[in-house]
Amino acid sequence: MTILVHSNSELRTALNGLSNNICLVPTMGALHEGHASLIKLAKKYVGSTGCVIVSDFVNPKQFGVNEDFEKYPRNLDSDLIVAQNAGANILWAPDVKDVYPGQWPLEVETDLRFEILEGRNRPGHFSAVIEVVTRLFDIVQPNAAVFGEKDFQQLILIKEMANKRNPKIGIIAGPTRRDKDELALSSRNVYLSSDQRNAAALIPQALKLAIKESKNGANVEMLKSIVKNKLKESDLIEIDYVEILGNDLNAIGANENARILIAVKLGDTRLIDNMSVQLKGNL
């Protein structure tokens, strides 16, 4: 049975009597099987007696002025069903005033990696993500938290923030859950028309082609071209970026396990994806 709570005091009351071995799964709601897989991972981490809290909060601060904050899909009823089926103990849907009580500033230490990839056209996005996660951690004080590899840049930046600020909180990475045609599940997929949805299957195809060609010796520049050419098979896809970086999001070094990261737009919908690639010998 999953308990639905809103305010921080309701959360505290619900936690009374439950285990204090807590794993937090931060989400913006519109829960799908990708989120469910993270909840199951959290449950595995805390065991049957531990407590999994799923936060369900569309954080206004991390959306830019022209982004989709207003129309971002929200459905608490279906979120409760997904959370319950995946084994969450508490679904916590706070209000803005619960997460941002008062106006005290919270300094976020940034570096160049906040400004690349997703940060390039979304100024302030990652500072806002780090801020909200820090506030959620402060309110819940979990033992661990789960984040998806789907948002790879977010995962890496949060991991480093947590290591510095909350070293006792274990950060667990969940693999990306995909649809039958391997498109990564995303709350934003509901915006796609059926033509756009079909074209979006080129995203995982492009990533997998690059992995295959890296094994055949293609170097980084060749791999980026291969990915771009694959994506260009549909004129519904507008490429934002195709990058290959080290696993810490710094430039790739020698013999590195790297990450290919893609962002595209289909109409007004922006989708991201990434996969791991082994670049040994073909930098």
Q: How many residues bind ligand AMP (CB under 6 A)?
A: 17
One-letter identity of residue 220? V
Q: How far apart are CA 178 and CA 167, in angstroms?
A: 31
Task: Figure out which of the listed residues 186, 189, 269, 274 binds ligand AMP, where binding follows CB under 6 A.
Answer: 186
List the beta strands (DSSP E) in 193-268: 237-246, 257-266
Alpha carbon 166 to its chain centroid, in Å, reads 19
Comparing CB distances to ligand AMP, the nearer of 184 and 249 is 184
- Nearest distance from residue 106's CB to ligand AMP, in Å? 19
What tokens does 204 get? 């995982």
Which one of the spans 90-98, 114-122, 143-151, 236-244 is the region binding ligand AMP (CB under 6 A)?
Answer: 143-151
- Candidate residues 5, 23, 38, 86; the one interacting with ligand AMP per rule CB under 6 A: 38
Q: Among residues 260, 265, 276, 180, which one has the least CA distance to residue 227?
A: 260
Whether the Cβ atoms of residue 190 and residue 179 lie closer than 8 Å to each other: no
**What distance lies between CA 247 and its chain's CA centroid?**
16
Q: How far is the CB of 235 from ligand AMP (least distance, A)?
A: 26
Question: Whole-angstrom Cα distance, residue 138 to residue 132?
Answer: 10
Closest Cα partner for 129 from 172, 94, 100, 158? 158
Q: Which stretch binds ligand AMP (CB under 6 A): 1-9, 77-85, 185-193, 233-241?
A: 185-193
Would residue 6 show up in a list of annotated catalytic residues for this protein?
A: no
Among 118, 151, 213, 256, contact with ligand AMP (rule: CB under 6 A): 151
Which is nearer to ligand AMP, 159 or 228 (by Cβ)? 159
Give the integer Cα–Cα distance in Å for 271 and 106. Answer: 29
Residues in region 5-34 near ligand AMP by CB under 6 A: 27-28, 34
Q: Examine residue 2 and tell whether it contacts ligand AMP (CB under 6 A).
A: no
Active centre residues (catalytic): 35
Q: Report the interface residues with ligand AMP, using CB under 6 A.
A: 27-28, 34-35, 37-38, 147-148, 150-151, 174, 176-177, 184-187
